[in-house]
Amino acid sequence: MAEERRQKLCSVILPTESMKAMAESVGVGSLQEDSCLALSEEVSYRIKEIAQDALKFMHHGKRRKLTTGDIDHALKLKNVEPLYGFQSQEFIPFRFASGGGRELHFYEEKEVDLSDIINTPLPRVPLDVSLKVPKEQQKTDSTEPLKAVKPGQEEEGSIQTKGQGASSAEVKGKEKMRMKPRSTHELSVEQQLYYKEITEACVGSCEAKRAVCVCNKCYLFLFQVRVNVVQNNLALLIYLMRMVKALMDNPTLYLEKYLHELIPAVVTCIVSKQLCLRPDVDNHWALRDFAARLMAQSCKTFSTTTNNIQSRITKTFTKALLDDKTQWTTRYGCIAGLAELGHDVIKTLIIPRLSVEGARIKAVMDGPVVSNIDKIGADHVQSLLLKHCASVVAKTRPLPDMVDQYKVDYGYLGTMLCSHVVKARAQAAFQAQTVNRTTLTITQPRPTLSVSQSGLSTSSGSRAPSIIKVPSSLTLMSTRPGTPTQPSPPATKYIVMATSAGAASTQQVITLSSSQSGSPVTSTVPSTPTSLQPLVKLESGNTGAVSGSRPLQKYIVVSLPSSSSSLENKSSSVLPSSTSPISMESAVKLERSESPAANTQSH
Amino acid sequence: MAAVQDGPMELDTEKETKPEILSDGTSKLSGNAASGTLSSSPLTAGGAPKQEDQQTLIAVLQFLRRNKLSESVEILRREAGLEDQEDSQTLDGSGGGKGDRDGGEANSLLSRVSITSAAAPQSTLTPITVKRANEQLDVSVVLSAYSQQGDPSLYQVYYSGLKNFIESVLDCHRAELSQLFYPLFVHMYLELVYNNHENEAKAFFEKFGGDQECYYQDDLRVLCGLTKKEHLKGNEVLLDFRTSRFVLRISRDSYQLLKRHLQERHNNQIWNIIQEHLYIDIFDGMPRSKSQIDSMSGSFAGEARREVNKVKVFHGLLKEPEIEVPLDDEEDEAENEEGKPKKKKTKKDSMGSKSKKQDPNAPQQNRIPLPELKDSDKLDKIMYMKESTKRIRLGPENLPSICFYSFLNAYQGLTAVDFTDDSSLLAGGFADSTVRIWSVTPKKLRKVKSAGELNLIDKESDDVLERIMDEKTASESKILCGHSGPVYSVSFSPDRNYLLSSSEDGTVRLWSLQTFTCLVGYKGHNYPVWDTHFSPFGYYFVSGGHDRVARLWATDHYQPLRIFAGHLADVTCTRFHPNSNYVATGSTDRTIRLWDVLNGNCVRIFTGHKGPVHSLAFSPNGKFLASGSTDGRVLLWDIGHGLMIGELKGHTDTIYALKFSRDGEILASGSMDNTVRLWDSTKAFDDVETDDFTAATGHIHLPDNSQELLLGTYHSKSTPVTHLHFTRRNLLLAAGGYSSQ
């Protein structure tokens, strides 16, 4: 192939007829055939030579296109007068003519009337050369992580003339004005007219017209979303989404035909990278949530076996979710979109991803250098995940809720998820059985009690069946002193305040003791070292009785560590190691000494 | 070509340096002279073939007699005598009947002698020809005229004979011997053209042109258009090709094989070309593999001779001048940024110790007279040191941020960009002959006041430097007009007081950045000046252009101090070594040369590029050189050993910008394909440095690890990358003109 081409190159010479024509044009009438041949060979070679030189100028001019200027310069190299003023509007300026048995290509030089040139209005002055550094790049300091400049990014964003945050404001503004038309996607004139018509019709009074238009609106709608996404007009996008909602809620409209227009627009609002001008301030998350709900609704309403909307949408979201490079905003949208589709979707698609997402969030949260936007994004994704997953996990996961197990299963998010699940379960329980609440609170502590006071548990053995129910929150406390010390409010009536790590155990004991019936009291009291008693202040009071007959006691326990000097008994050696059973026992005892009545009351 | 650079040139002092070479066209003249003498012999040979034959016959006779080969003399004389008689009869009848072998005994004899019976030796002449073949080496000098006179129709036979032979040899030799194809092809073709065998030349080209390596395409394109002797005369590039010897590197075994074959077949035509026009660098040891050969070949005149690259090059850095950094200032800063003071101190110390230790590879401090440091330079150095303590350490895990400066509305064509070292100014050269300067910091560009106004200023005041500036002229950019053709390169002086620009109009202009006027126009290159570059210490600069020479200038001399001649085609890019003692030039002949500024000698020739070299960059430690060409490859060179040490493939278009990061860990390359690519240069250098064998033999074996070394590719939408620059803190700045097509 290459060979053929080269052969061609080698053999290509100008036809002798052109020589004749050229000779005639300069006044040489009759040219011998031989001289024509010789001339054409020579001319061909020179042309090739000049073209090769012109290529050099093109390369050094850092262009991909050979210009007439390059040829001028190449001619100049050969000491040939360049063809000044040779330029044309068209790509190939030559005209073809035939006649008298000859075919000719010629360059048409029109005669122009000078007065025409003088009278024509001056063309617009071309814009001057200016320097531009994209905004996001401008912000980059050498300490920030590298941002890849994706194609197109360079032209979007606002335009600035100077590098490194150094430009003066007015120049910036000027540049922006100048450059804006280039960076936005404007509606064509036809589309604008159409838009106007439709809007008028919708707002107008003609009912028949309106019916037609509502449908057409869908088509238009896509444009609007597209335009507004580009312009980052959050408010308008929200209105548009509301409009979709209204359209969908309207039972008299058949939207099936326009789904292909609607759905891309809605999905755009869910997953678009940027929906507003200031992603760190504006609440575009709400828009995403809303759009996600819309999407779910339309899936429910319109998904059939033929159009497969739900599976297609799911696939789209999952794909974006699985991509490592997806931005936080898009990630949020994907998760929201999936979550709205129902528990099954959450279970199969989101929950398995929890640990991965957790790691990602952790990297952002704990990572050293992070842009604010990323952090906000990660934060939102985290709360979204917790919100949606907790209820599902609470339903699907068997008891007990062990923090460690959660951590193993769900990674970084495990801890938080666990507490959310507990909350969710409690809530569910609260709603389900308000009557049983008291017993629940009482029975809760029992397993922990057996841990701390192994010897004492025998007495509570009879209550075992009811105890097993919600032990998780208490286990959590006993094993991990550092975790939030407040048990979920509806489940227990004890508000415990701890100021030290060690205090957690103390407080835990309190719950224990409160629930514990009076039987062990006598046995523990004597074993308590008296020195410990001041450590824990126990306030007991009557809460409003939940179940009227048996008022529950509410204990606010303030435990202070040995280091805090407010209490007289600083010297106690037991305190720092308050996790030890002794301290717990002490606490238990302490309580018991004051609360036998309550205990007895509850049983 | 060497004549120009041979004269010993001493740079005594800055003041006394005189331009050694006055004539601007010296190299051209010498080139023409050389070609003139060379072309004279074929001219006469072609003009009167008969006459020439007789003369050479006599020469042969004399030679044989001198060697006491009386038998041969007798036979030859008998034949010649016979011929002489018949000659007078047939002379008018067969004017150009050289190829006409059946035209008579005399003619057939003649032609056989001239071809030395390579094709079909007849029985009666065998003894002579065999003997002659044995003496071929010596006689070749006398018979040089013959080499242009072989039977043109037999050229194809010779060439295909050699081709068949090479294709049939063992694999290990084939790759090496294949190197012969291209130079032989070109020389045979040129000979045919030289001797006016136009049709044979075309046929020859068509038959074998396609066999040549793809990277010779460009040359072949030039070659194919050239079918007449007159064309050849005007084409200096090809004249150079004829006069200079194409260098091949072949192992001894392969060479012996070739020699034996040619002698057995009496293929003297080819043998002559090899003797005359090729330089075969024979080495002992294993023949090289195809990939090894391919990596080094591609240049217009073959590989570099080994001995060329043996000269010692002082590639070390010069000792940094001791500058006392005001301590209180440092401490202030340390307090400002608490938490880091310790780190800073240690860094500072390490830098200090480095500068104290003399690099064994460094040239003498005064090998080249360098300008004295001014106070402002010292201040700048201090600034530089301060900045460098805040420098980000780059690496594969820590890539630089890239900031892209797009030139908008550059309809006239952006052709060159340069940043100052401290990244405060940016200059752009345009195809409409203008140079524009932008300030990329809030500080505006101001002119110095006019002389009249300057007189009114109180010269004793502290802020006199501030007062001399004319506030009215403050603006963000300035335009410099003066050139009369596209500006092809711009270069800031290190002290930011001057700007150089080179242009199509053949001049290099020096502009003042105080007054924003042109100070000097350096005229010397008669043709477009493709590139110019300031020395890292200022004062000197180098330029290179279409006239195939690079010139070294000093700003206060209107004529060049040195002319570096040797490239066979345009000098496309020029760069100063960080120690200012050497200059690297890249050329359209696909070689890179390193020149010693002190004596003007060429100390390194690097071959391996397959297209014109358009960008060069020295590593900050001065040890390595990177070069980029139109073929989209970046090659890395070890200057000390004179070796290619790496090949970075990835770009798809001409590489116009190359830059090492300030610490040399990252190499950034920018190309017409709208991408900036980052390469792990540390790894590239480390991988090779461990290998001693390659250094000894000069045979490189490149690992194909471009993909591992590529750290990132960053696309712009439609902006070719024209220039790259690392700030002192290792932020990468890129620049290019946005093209709307």
pLDDT per position as a tens digit, A132-178: 776 544 443 333 333 333 333 333 333 333 333 333 333 333 333 33
The packing angle between helices A2-11 and B217-224, to 10°, is 30
Cβ–Cβ below 8 Å for B217 and A155:
no
For residue B644, list its beta bridge partners.
Answer: B637
Tell me if B636 sits within 8 A of B625, measured CB to CB: yes
* CA atoms within a 13 Å half-sphere pointing along the CA-CB vector of A601: 15
Mean of all residue pLDDT scores within chain A: 63
Chain B residues in contact with A54 by the CB 8 A cut-off are none
**b (16+ CB within 10 A) / e for A520-549:** bbeebeeebeeebbebbebebeeeeeeeee
Residue in B537, B536, B535, B560 with CA at minimum distance from that of residue B547: B560
Count CB pairs under 8 A between chains A and B: 179
Q: Which pLDDT belongs to residue B614?
A: 94
Is pLDDT at B594 greater than 90 in this prediction?
A: yes
pLDDT above 50 for B41: no
pLDDT of residue B329: 47
3-state secondary structure of B555: coil
- Alpha carbon separation from B245 to B166, B256, B284, B300, B547 (Å, rounded): 22, 20, 21, 11, 20
Largest CA distance in chain A: 138
Q: Is A170 on the interface with B (CB under 8 A)?
A: no
A5 contacts chain B (CB < 8 A): no
Confidence of residue A213 (pLDDT cuts 50, 70, 90): low
Least confident interval from A275-279, B49-53, B695-699, B733-737: B49-53
pLDDT at A139: 40
pLDDT at residue B125 tops 50: no
Residues B413/B431, Cβ–Cβ less than 8 Å? yes
pLDDT of residue B535: 93
Q: Is the pLDDT of residue A46 over 70?
A: yes
Asked if A328 and A275 count as a contact pair (C-beta separation under 8 A), the reply is: no
Max mean pLDDT range (A252-266, B172-186, B572-586): B572-586
Least confident of A422-436, A579-593, B74-88, B682-696: A579-593
| Angstrom distances, CA of residue A570 to CA of A487, A560, A562, A591 | 29, 10, 5, 20
The answer to whether residues A447 and A474 touch, using CB atoms and an 8 Å cutoff, is yes
pLDDT of B540 > 70? The answer is yes
Q: Give the pLDDT band (50/70/90) at residue A507.
A: very low
- Does A456 have pLDDT greater than 70? no
Q: Which of A6, A63, A152 sits opposite B717 (nearest CB)?
A: A152
Paired sense of beta strands B402-408 and A130-132, if any: antiparallel
Q: Is the separation of the CB atoms in B626 and B637 below 8 Å?
A: yes
B406 beta partners:
A132, B736
Residue the block writes with tokens 């026992």: A585
Token representation of residue B682: 């540390």
Check residue A91 and give its pLDDT: 66
B-chain residues within 8 Å CB-CB of A52? Answer: 221-222
Give Cβ neighbours of residue A469 (< 8 Å, ≥ 6 apart): A440, A443
With a pLDDT cut of 90, the percent of chain B lying above it is 26
Residue B115 has pLDDT above 70, yes or no: no
Rounded Cα–Cα distance for residues A464 and A455 (Å):
16
Q: How far is it, in rounded angstroms, from Cα B103 to Cα B97?
A: 8
CA-based nearest residue to B224, from B236, B238, B234? B238
Q: Which of A516-530, B196-210, B512-526, B569-583 has the lowest mean pLDDT?
A: A516-530
The whole-number average pLDDT for the span B108-128 is 39
Q: Which of A7, A131, A135, A161 to mutate to test the interface with B (most CBs of B within 10 A)?
A: A131
Taking the mean position of all CA atoms in its chain, how far away is CA B155?
A: 32
pLDDT digits (tens, 9 = 90+) for B231-288: 777 777 777 777 778 888 888 888 888 888 888 877 777 888 888 888 888 888 778 8
Q: In the predicted model, what is the mean pLDDT of residues B532-540?
A: 92
Q: What is the pTM of this model?
A: 0.57
Nearest to A156 by CA among A131, A179, A178, A128: A179
Task: Name which of B227, B570, B729 is nearest A56 (Cβ-Cβ).
Answer: B570
Query: Residue B301 pLDDT > 50, yes or no?
Result: yes
Give residue A250's pLDDT band: very low, low, confident or very high (50, 70, 90). confident
Chain B residues whose beta carbon lies within 8 Å of the beta carbon of residue A87 = none
pLDDT tens figures, B398-407: 889 899 999 9
Of B26-40, B73-87, B343-357, the poorest mean pLDDT is in B26-40
pLDDT band for B550, please (50, 70, 90 cuts).
Answer: very high
Dump strand ranges (E) for B526-588.
529-534, 540-545, 549-554, 562-565, 571-576, 582-587
B528, A149: Cβ pair inside 8 Å?
Answer: no
Q: Provide the residue type at B95 as one letter.
A: G
- For helices A328-339 and A309-322, give the axis angle rounded to 10 degrees: 150
Query: End-to-end distance of chain A based on CA atoms, in angstroms?
Result: 100
**Above pLDDT 70, what percent of chain A?**
51
With a cut of 80, say whether residue A26 has pLDDT above it.
yes
Instruction: Average the pLDDT over A277-290 and give the result.
Output: 78
Instruction: Name residue, tokens 């969908």.
Output: A248
B617: its two tokens: 């960059």
| Residues in CB range of B490: below 8 A, 6 or more apart | B416, B417, B418, B427, B428, B429, B435, B499, B500, B501, B502
> Are the C-beta atoms of B609 and B648 separated by less than 8 Å?
no
Q: A147: distance to nearest CA of chain B, Å?
A: 7
For residue range B693-740, list pLDDT tens digits in order.
555 566 666 777 778 889 989 998 888 999 999 999 899 999 999 887
Euclidean distance between CA atoms B549 and B29, whole angstroms = 13
**Chain B residues touching A170 at Cβ < 8 A:** none
How many helices (H) and strands (E) chain A has is answered by 27, 6
B234 contacts in chain A (CB < 8 Å)? 49
B306-311 — which CB contacts under 8 Å span 24+ positions? B306/B249, B306/B281, B306/B698, B308/B602, B308/B604, B308/B605, B308/B642, B309/B603, B309/B604, B309/B605, B309/B641, B309/B642, B309/B643, B309/B698, B310/B642, B311/B601, B311/B603, B311/B604
Using one digit for the tens of pLDDT, what is the confidence trace for A255-268? 777 777 778 778 88
| Phi, then psi, of A540 in degrees rounded to 5 | -115, 145
For residue range B64-80, list pLDDT tens digits in order: 777 777 777 777 777 66
B402-408 and B732-737 as β-strands: parallel, antiparallel, unpaired? parallel
- Residue at B310: amino acid letter: K
Sheet strand arrangement including B498-503: B487-492, B498-503, B507-512, B517-523
* Share of residues in chain A with pLDDT > 90 (%): 1
More confident residue, B431 or A274: B431
* Distance between CA atoms of residues A591 and B202, nearest Å: 113
Higher pLDDT, B691 or A68: A68
Mean pLDDT across chain B, nearest whole number? 76
Q: What is the pLDDT of residues B623-667, one digit of tens each?
A: 899 999 998 999 999 888 888 888 899 999 999 999 999 988 999
For chain A, what percentages of helix, strand and coil (3-state, to nearest 5) are there? 60, 5, 35
Q: Between B202, B228, B527, which is nearest A10 by CB? A: B202
The enclosing H or E element of B162 equals helix B155-168
Please give the full DSSP string across A132-144, using - where no structure is assigned.
E--HHHHH--TTS
Which residue do the tokens 């030189």 mark?
A53
Band of pLDDT at residue B350, cut at 50, 70 and 90: very low
Note the pLDDT of residue A219.
58
| B16 pLDDT more than 70 | no
Per-residue pLDDT tens for B220-230? 887 887 777 77
pLDDT at residue A600 is higher than 90: no
**Whether B672 and A57 lie within 8 Å, measured CB to CB:** no
Give the model's pLDDT for residue A500: 40
The closest of B691, B600, B680, B587 to B641, measured between CA atoms, is: B691
pLDDT above 80 (res B580): yes
Q: Return the structure tokens found at A104.
A: 């000719």
Which residues make Cβ contacts (< 8 Å) with residue B593, sequence separation at least 6? B564, B566, B567, B584, B585, B587, B602, B604, B605, B606
Task: Point out which residues pair with B419 in neighbouring strands.
Answer: B426
Closest CA relative to residue B439, chosen from B475, B490, B486: B475
**C-alpha–C-alpha distance, residues A361 and A375, integer Å:** 8
Task: Indicate whether B123 pLDDT > 90.
Answer: no
Residues of B in Cβ contact (< 8 Å) with A167: 442
Cβ contacts of B477 on chain A, cutoff 8 Å: 131
Q: What are the residues whose beta carbons fall under 8 Å from the beta carbon of B630, sequence distance 6 or more?
A: A59, B611, B612, B614, B653, B654, B655
Amino acid B721: pLDDT: 92
**Chain A residue at shortest CA distance from B730:** A142
User: A213: which residues sit within 8 A by CB, 6+ positions away?
Assistant: A198, A201, A202
B438 pLDDT higher than 80? yes
Q: For residue B123, how many other CB atoms are within 10 A of its CB?
A: 6
Beta strands in B287-336 (DSSP E): none
Question: 3-state class of B104 per DSSP?
Answer: coil
Phi, psi (deg, nearest 5) at residue B716: -105, 165
Phi, psi of B624 (to 5 degrees): -125, 160
Helix extents (H) in B541-613: none
Q: Per-residue pLDDT for A536 more than 70? A: no
Q: Where do we find the tokens 């939030």? A: A484
Q: Which of B445-454, B587-596, B649-658 has the lowest mean pLDDT?
A: B445-454
| Nearest residue to B225 via CA among A73, A22, A6, A15 | A6
Contact B638, B645 (CB under 8 A): yes
The Cα B96–Cα B48 span in angstroms is 9
